[in-house]
Each structure stands twice: as structure tokens, then as C-alpha cells.
Structure 1
Amino acid sequence: MSTASHQIGWKTAAAIVVSNMIGTGIFTTLGFQLSDITNTYSIFLLWIIGGILALFGAFCYAELGSHFKGNGGDFIYLKETYHPLFGYLISWISLIIGFSSPVALAALAMSKYLSVFDYTFGNGFAMMAIFLVATTLSFSLKTSSRFHNFFTFIKIAFIIILVIVGVGLSGSPQIGNSLNFSNSWQKEIMLPAFATSLVFVTYSYTGWNSASYIAGEIKEVQKNLPKSLIIGTVFVTLSYLLVNYIMLKHAPVTQLAGKEDVMGEAAINMLGISFGKIVNIFIALQLIATISGYLWVGSRLTQAFARDTHIWKPLSKGNKKGIPVRAIFAHAVIAAIIILTGSFKEIFVYTAFILQLFASLAISTVYFLKKGDRTIFKSNAFYIFPTVFLLFSVYILYFTFIHNPKESMIGLGIIAVGIILYVIDKRLSGSKKDEGNAPEEN
């Protein structure tokens, strides 16, 4: 159990939630959505639904995190309620996809946004950024907190200034915009593309559960965990709606559709080339907090998971100050490999698909909590939250699988590898126990 000197308050926990949520998704996914969905009401509805689902999920995780104390998050919830296999799988997924893929995507987005300058920032730069952040997080909890809070401050200040400037400035009549407030939204929300666009949105909200993974490092967890989750999620939802409005207001659909660096395109239209490049720099800087947040939280989950395994046992060890350095660099190495093995959109889709699937499994564990186990929501009306979340998840997963079968199968294939590794790990652990119990020869 962490001592008070090695624990964080709700502000740092909320900073982790905000930094894990605001990052790659909001600054890249609008271009993918505009390929099929162009009505502004439809776009806003996507992000409102995503925010509601994230908030409902945060309510569920607040209860789960308060009940299952200590670090581990989904690993603990699934292991204690369903079966150790599910705990193993969520940890395997978190190691390979859940926390390593977002790190890779954030680093790739950094290089994409910085490529507005004459020098081309490629995969090498993205991987270097990951390892520099990993090194910074390897010293102590105090150093990690200061580093993370500094870049999260940049992230939040940048978002606030961007919103004020973007809303205040008039759009250019010559350039045009993507704002469309017609009645076409009524048809668009019935399209399969609306459901598949939700997978990009739900990915962009990934991180609403992040503080629950480090519950063991939060002071007064029953009070501060729900506070950090809810404040972080509400702030991010409002930010997402306003940032999308700015991008739609300052760039036409033809300029944004299918592109990753959509905010950069809108910023150049909004402020001119020189100031637009400065916006690109700040987008890249705020992505450092995203990389930091995922490496921080992911390493704690991997450390908790590794303690109970044979194959991954070495990753459970920390340094003298308790920092899981091996786990941090394991995520960094995997993120670097991901960068070298897929396109941005392909990585995005299979990551979003598999994270939605396992978020649904984790949320379903609240049904195992009895009324007396809940410390925040005592009424049975609480079950509205997980039920709505799961119904939308089924809707999203079905259409994502139908329209992106290749990426979905990649995700399912990674799960299959995890099942094989679980079987191998159990056998190795069993063999070691048998050797330890074997009688000594005379």
C-alpha cells in the first residue's frame, strides 16, 4: 500500500484523465468522420453520445475503483468477477493495444503535425519522443507528477485559448466552412457510417477510466477517484464539442475529409500560415501529456498483471522508489513496433474496436456489485449507466466489424494470441510449483 508521501491528489488524478482523453482522437478523427457524415448536428450528436457514454462509464468505474481497491483497474475487476483468464486477457490487450497503441498514435500525430515545417518528422522522431517521455517517467512519482502536470497544463491552456480564439474569429468567406445545419442529420444518424464514426469518437474519449488504474496511488480514493473521473470527463466533453465547432467553422469539408491533421488545416485558415504553424507546435506539445499519461497508467496496470504471471513476471519489478521502469519501457518498445507495422487509420480502427469490446466487459462487472457494495450510487437506478453503455457498445461493435472486417479480425487475432499465452503461462506456473513441491532425493 502506498504511503501518503507517495500518493497523489484528485487534481493530479483528474490531470491524468484529461491528458489521457484529450490527445490524438480530437485532433485527427474529424477527417475520418467527414468522409461519410457531413451534417453539423450529426457531428455534434456523435460527440455528445461519446461524452455521455464516457460519463456513464466513469460512474461505473468510480464504483468499481472504490470497491476493488489498489492498482489494476480492469484486470482486478475481470479477474475477481468472471475468471482469471479475463483478467489475463485485458492485461494482455492493455499491454499490446490499450496503452501502447495510443502512445504510438499520439507520437505519429506529433510527427504529422510538426511536418508542417520544412523538415519531415517521420517514424524515427515519433519513436524518439516516446523513449524520451518514458525516461522522464522513470525517476520518481514526484518527477512524474511534475512532468505530467506541466504538459497537461499546456494541454488545457492551449485548448482554452484555441476555443476562445476559434469561436471569436470570423470564418473566411473565400475559404468557406463545413457548417451544415440542414435537416440531413435525420437521415445521417440512421446510416451504418454513423455507427462506425462512433468508434472513432469512443476512442477519442478513451481515458475516462484511467484514474481507476492507479487507485492505489490516490489519497482518499473513495472521495477523490469519482471526483477526478467526473470532473475530467465533463471538461473533456465540452472541450471536444467546441474544438469540433472551430474546425468545422474554419475549413471546408473538401479540405478536411480523409485527413489526419485536421486542426492544423483549420488553424492555418484561421490564423495564417505563420500562426497556424505555432498552433501545430502546441498540438504536438500537448500530445506529450497524452504519451506520458498512457505510459504512466499502462505501466501500473502491467505491473499489477505481471505479479501473478510467469512469462511477464520481470515486468512487475520497480526501482528503489517503486516506479515500474521495466513496464514503462515495455510499453515504449511495443509502441515503437506498432509504429513500424501499420498505417495510422488501420492502427486506429483495430485499437478502437478492441478497446470498446473490453471496456464493455469491464463495465459489465458492476452487475456483480451488490447494493451494499456501492459507496457512491445507492439507488438501483444506477444500473441505467452500465445498461445504456453496453447497448451502445453492441451497436458500435457490430457495425465496426461489418464495415472494417480486416481491422476487427486483427483485434480478435490479438485476443486469440492472449488466450494461447494464458494457457502457456498457467502450464509454466504449474510446472514451477510441481518442481518446488517435488521431494528431495536422498
Structure 2
Amino acid sequence: MNSTSHQIGWKTAVAIVVSNMIGTGIFTTLGFQLADITNTYSIFLLWVIGGILALFGAFCYAELGSHFKGNGGDFIYLKETYHPILGYLVSWISLIIGFSSPVALAALAMSKYLSAFNFSFGNGFAIGIIFLVAASLSFSLKTSSKFHNFFTFIKIAFIIILIALGVFLSNSESVGNSLLFDDSWKKEMMLPAFATSLVFVTYSYTGWNSASYIAGEIKDVQKNLPKSLIVGTVFVTVCYLLVNFIMLKHAPVAQMAGKEDVMGEVANNMLGNTFGKVVNVFIALQLIATISGYLWVGSRLTQAFAKENKLWKSLSVGNKKGIPVRAIFAHAVIATLIILTGSFKEIFVYTAFILQLFASLAISTSYFIKKEDRKIFKSNVFYVFPTVFLLFSVYILYFTFIHNPKESLIGLGIVALGVILYLIDRKLTRSKV
């Protein structure tokens, strides 16, 4: 057990939740959604559903994190509840997809937003940023906390200022807007595109479970873990609704549909090209906290996984301060390989698909915590949370697979490779005995 001096409080835990959630998704996904879904009620409904699912998931993880002590998150839940192979697979997915892909996507988004300066910030820049952040997290928990909290403060301050400007500034009549309040939302809700749009939304909320992975580093975990998950998720949901409102208010559909850097387009309309570029810089800066959050949390999960598996044993080694440096840089290297081998949207879809699949498996383990063993929710109303989450997950996964078979199969192929590695790992373990 870590000493108190090596543990973090609820505020840092909230900062980790917020920085893991607010990042690439909210500033890029609206462009993909507007290709098929244009009614404002439909867009808001997507983000409200995403927020409810994230909050219900957070309730489940708060209970799971209090029940299963220590770091590890999904790895511990699935391994202890079902079978070691699922613990292995979720850790493999977290190493390759869960924490490395969001790092890659955030770095690519940084490059895209900074390209507003008519200079090509390409893959080399994205990779360099990843390794600089990895290095900053490699000294001590205290240094990591200061670095992470600083960039999370920039993230939160930027979001609040951006929302205030977007709400109070009037939109340019010459440019137009995307606000559409009519009955077409009823038809759009029934479209397969509504379900596939939800995969982008659920990805944007990914991170609501992040504090549960480092439960072993949180002071007074039974009190502070639920607090950090719930406060972080509610704050982010409100921000997401407001950010989508200002984007719809300040740019027409034709200007945003199919584009990744939608907020850059909106900022130019709101503030002019010069101030728009300043907004692009702050979007890029706040993405540093996203990269930091995923490297921090992902490395802890990978360390917990590596300690129990021969094939990955070397990644469990920490430095003198207990920081899992090898795991941090393993994620940085994998993020680099992802950047070099896929397009932004392709990475986005297979990442979102597989993360939704494994989040669903992890949430299902909450059914197995007996009522008398629950620390937070004593009533049977608790079962509403995993049930609603899982029903929506099946809906999202089905339509994502039907409409994005290539990306879904890439994700499932990575899972299949994990099964092979599990069998090799077990063989190595038996041969050592």
C-alpha cells in the first residue's frame, strides 16, 4: 500500500477524469455527426445519452473500484469475476488501443489545429509531443501531479472562456449557423447513423472510468473515488452540451460536415482569423493534458498487468520513485506506431468500437457484487445502472459493426492477437514452473 505522501487527493483524481474525457473527441466528432444528423435536438440527445451512460458507468466503477482494492481497473474486475483470459485481453487492449490510441489521436489533433498557422505540423511533431509528455511523467508522482494539474487547469479555463464567448457573442448573419429546431429529430433518431454517431459520442466520454485504474494511489478511496468520478463526469457532460451549442451556433453545416478541426472553423467565425488562431493554440495546449492523463493512467494498468505475465514482465519495473517508466514509454512507442499506420477516422472508429465492447464486459461484473458487499449503493436500484449501460452498448456495437465493418474487424483482429499472446504467455509460465 502506498504511503499517504505518495497518494493523490480527490481534486487531482477529478483532474485526471476531466483531462481524460475532454480532449480529442469533443473538438473533432461533430463534423462526423453532421454528415448524417443535422437536427439540433438530435445532436443534443446524442450527447445527453452519452453523458447518462458515462454517469451510469461511473456509478458502476465507483462501486467496483471500492470493492476491488488497488490499481488495475478492468484488469482486476474481469480477471477476478470471470476468467484470467478476459483480464489479460482487457489489459492487452488497454496497452494497444485503450490508452495508446487516444494519445495518438490527441497528438494528431494537435498537429491538425496548429496547421492553422500555414505550417505543416505533421506526424513528426505529434510523435515528439508524445515523448516530451512521457518524459515529464517519469520523475515522481509529485512532479506528474503538478504537470498534469497545470495543463488540466489550462484545459478547464479554456473551455469555460470558450463557452462564455460562444454563448454571449452573436453569430455572423453572413456566415449562418447550424441550429435546426424542428420535428426531423424523430426521424433521425431511427436512423442507423444515429447509433453510429453514438460511437463517436461514447468515445468522447471515454475517461469517465480513469480514476478507478489508479484507486491504489487515491487517499480515502471509498470516499474520494466516487466523488472524483461523479464530479468529473457531470462537469464534462455540461461542458459538452455547451460546446456543441456554440459550434452549431457559429458555423453552418456545410462548413463543418466531414471535418476534423471543427472548432478551428467555428473560432474563425466567432473571433476572426487572428483570434481564431489563438483558440487553435489553446485547443492544442489543452490536448497535452489529454496525452498526459492517458499515459499516466494507462501505464499503471499496464504495470499491474505486466507484474502477472511473463511475456510483459519487463514493463512492470518502476524507477526509485515507483513511477512505471517502462510502461509509460511503451505506450508512447505504440502511439507512435498507430500514428504511422492509420488515418484519423479509421483509428477513431476501431478504438471506439473495442473500448465500448470491453467497457461493457467490465460493467457487467458489477452484477456479481452482493448487495451486502456494496460500499456505496445499498439499494437494488443500483442494477438500473449496468442494465441501461449494457442495453445501449449492444445497440451501439451492432450498428457500428454493420456500418463500419473494416474498422470493427481491425479492432477484433487486435483482440484475436491478444488471445494468441495469452496462450503463449500461459505456455511460458508453465515451462518456468
User: What letter matches 2:261 in structure 1?
Assistant: D
User: What letter matches 1:128 in structure 2?
Assistant: G
What's the secondary structure of 1:350's corresponding residue? helix
User: What letter matches 1:26 in structure 2?
Assistant: I
Question: In the alignment, what sits opposite 1:174?
Answer: 174
1:425-440 mapped onto 2 (5 Å cutoff): 425-433=425-433
Runs of 4+ in 1 over 2 A off after TM superposition: none
Q: How far apart in 2 are the matches of 1:106 and 1:90?
A: 22
1:354-433 mapped onto 2 (5 Å cutoff): 354-433=354-433
1:282-301 mapped onto 2 (5 Å cutoff): 282-301=282-301
Question: In the alignment, what sits opposite 2:89?
Answer: 89
Question: In the alignment, what sits opposite 2:98?
Answer: 98
Q: Deviations over 1:245-268 (max 9, x none)?
A: 000000000000000000000000
1:202-213 mapped onto 2 (5 Å cutoff): 202-213=202-213
The two structures have a TM-score, normalised by structure 1, of 0.98
User: Does 1:340 find its partner at 2:313?
Assistant: no
User: Does 1:26 find its partner at 2:53?
Assistant: no
Question: In the alignment, what sits opposite 1:53?
Answer: 53
Q: How far apart in 2 are the matches of 1:421 and 1:120?
A: 39
Question: In the alignment, what sits opposite 1:122?
Answer: 122
Q: How far apart in 2 are the matches of 1:135 and 1:430?
A: 36
Q: How far apart in 1 are the matches of 2:25 and 2:376?
A: 30
Q: How far apart in 2 are the matches of 1:82 and 1:414?
A: 21
Shift of 1:372: 1.1
What's the secondary structure of 2:181's corresponding residue? coil
Q: How far apart in 1 are the matches of 2:309 and 2:384?
A: 36
Shift of 1:223: 0.0
What's the secondary structure of 2:27's corresponding residue? coil
User: What letter matches 2:140 in structure 1?
Assistant: S
Shift of 1:118: 2.0
User: What letter matches 1:143 in structure 2?
Assistant: T
User: What letter matches 1:77 in structure 2?
Assistant: Y
Q: How far apart in 1 are the matches of 2:328 and 2:115?
A: 27
Q: How far apart in 2 are the matches of 1:108 and 1:137?
A: 20
Q: CA RMSD in A?
A: 0.3
Q: How far apart in 1 are the matches of 2:415 and 2:53?
A: 24
Shift of 1:4: 0.2
The two structures have a TM-score, normalised by structure 2, of 1.00
1:298-317 mapped onto 2 (5 Å cutoff): 298-317=298-317
Question: In the alignment, what sits opposite 1:229?
Answer: 229
User: What letter matches 1:246 in structure 2?
Assistant: I
Q: Deviations over 1:299-353 (max 9, x none)?
A: 0000000000011000001000000000000000000000000000000000000
Question: In the alignment, what sits opposite 1:238?
Answer: 238
Q: How far apart in 2 are the matches of 1:287 and 1:178?
A: 26
Q: How far apart in 2 are the matches of 1:375 and 1:22?
A: 29
What's the secondary structure of 2:5's corresponding residue? helix
Question: In the alignment, what sits opposite 1:133?
Answer: 133
Q: Deviations over 1:53-89 (max 9, x none)?
A: 0000000000000000100000000000000000000
Q: How far apart in 1 are the matches of 2:355 and 2:124?
A: 27
Question: In the alignment, what sits opposite 2:184?
Answer: 184
User: Does 1:278 find its partner at 2:239?
Assistant: no
Q: How far apart in 2 are the matches of 1:182 and 1:22?
A: 29
User: What letter matches 1:282 in structure 2?
Assistant: F
What's the secondary structure of 2:311's corresponding residue? coil
Question: In the alignment, what sits opposite 2:320?
Answer: 320
Q: How far apart in 2 are the matches of 1:65 and 1:93?
A: 20
Shift of 1:234: 0.2
Q: How far apart in 1 are the matches of 2:328 and 2:416?
A: 24
Q: How far apart in 1 are the matches of 2:373 and 2:417?
A: 35
User: What letter matches 1:181 in structure 2?
Assistant: F
Q: How far apart in 1 are the matches of 2:118 and 2:197?
A: 33
Shift of 1:373: 1.2
Q: Deviations over 1:18-72 (max 9, x none)?
A: 0000000000000000000000000000000000000000000000000001000
Residue ranges of structure 2 left out of the alignment (5+ in a row): none
Q: How far apart in 1 are the matches of 2:104 and 2:366?
A: 31
Question: In the alignment, what sits opposite 2:109?
Answer: 109
Question: In the alignment, what sits opposite 1:70?
Answer: 70
Q: Deviations over 1:367-412 (max 9, x none)?
A: 1100011010000010000000000000000000000000000000
Q: How far apart in 2 are the matches of 1:156 and 1:168?
A: 18
Question: In the alignment, what sits opposite 1:216?
Answer: 216
Q: How far apart in 1 are the matches of 2:368 and 2:422?
A: 24
What's the secondary structure of 1:72's corresponding residue? coil
User: What letter matches 1:336 in structure 2?
Assistant: T
Q: How far apart in 1 are the matches of 2:164 and 2:152?
A: 18
Q: How far apart in 2 are the matches of 1:159 and 1:421?
A: 42
Give the fraction of aligned pairs with identical amino acids, expressed as a percent.
84
Q: How far apart in 1 are the matches of 2:373 and 2:397?
A: 30
